[in-house]
Structure 1
Amino acid sequence: MPARVIVLAGPSGAGKSRLAERLEERFGWPTLRLDDFYRDHDEPGLPVIAEGANAGLVDWDDPGSWNCADALAALLDLCRTGTTDVPDYSIAQSRRTGERHLDLRGAPVFCAEGIFAPDVVAGCAEAGVLESAYCITQHPVITFGRRLQRDLREHRKPPPVLLRRGVALARAQRAVVGRAVAAGCRVSTGDAAFEEIVERWAGSRAPS
């Protein structure tokens, strides 16, 4: 395997994407956005919220709304060959809108981040490509605020849906972290994980 992967799990809005961006700026490591492997909104059999104000809507926080097999296949292809094709997914439209080519450009490590990241940890470990796995988390109030600001800025869903979903996610944050830990992720803040990774790879240079 020419490359290994750092898996970044954790609640939505906890700072996974920001950590991946900082590592790309520091080392030139590309990022595989696992959220791009969501299923299209009209795909049959999607999980649906059964109770509460959002009852009847697709439950995008259920792993059944995400294609783990495709995500893991792309990840392992990236490790083996250094390149892969991945979907472009629009969260606002709840569907794939195209495809893009991801190239490691010789980087020995890349990040894979997303809310369902714990589901790929075992497959990465079994294939021998897992560099490390973190569960990035912060206080639920901070995560709630940052997630809401991001989702409103990006027009991901109508504001009432985002607000109700944010409250539900804040209540479920402990369970999300527990699931990641059970999958083999280590709990950390984004800053602490960044410092640890930089120290480990201090001699590495960004690919030219």
Structure 2
Amino acid sequence: MLSATITKDTKKAAWSSIEAILHVESPVGEKKDVGHIKKKWNNLMREKRAELAKYNSSIRGTGGGPQYRLKHIDEKIRDQVIGINNPSLPGHVILGGVESETAPSEVDNHDLGAVEILDDTHYTIAIEFKQEQSLGQESCSAATPRPIPTSSGAPPKKTSRQATAASKRFLCEVSDEISRKRLLREKIKLAQSVVELRAAMGNPMTLDEFPEELKKVLADPWNHK
């Protein structure tokens, strides 16, 4: 829940803005309503809080064995969405916590977005393949800048407004990565069709005719950028 000072209409508007971003990113395909988005986000938060609890317990030495290693995407969610000092994370020494404009009653402040994360390199999200020049890119470029760290070196506390902005920014970044990979996959399929057609015509396609992007994939399919 968000702070009691946040009205029901404000919460509804925040969810609607996330829903609108998804619909812009996905001009075709099945539309996801707010109820579906909330369910996906809550499931994601449960999974990631469990991962962070294991990590916090391992660095405090309460779990025994080697330190638990977080995936890159888990670190990103912790730092940009949940908050590194969030007191709702089990196994964590509370140094600061998440604060709203007044005071939080609970610390489940960040239930905004619609992301399912399978591992640190492969994401799925409630959108379909979008064109290379998607209208949704404007919302990503206009995302709120990240807060500047405090002079003490401790991560700054998050207000509910900053948490909302962080959720939107995270959603945009994941969406862009998915779109890039899907676009590349479509290019590979097209190239395969062209190669087969040229071979059938007796005019095989040479490597020099491939775009540079696809040459990189052929040279190193698992580590190309």
TM-score, normalised relative to structure 2: 0.26
TM-score, normalised relative to structure 1: 0.28
The one of the two structures with greater contact order (alpha-carbon pairs below 8 A, sep at least 6) is 1
User: Which has a greater percent of strand?
Assistant: 1
User: Which has a greater percent of helix?
Assistant: 2
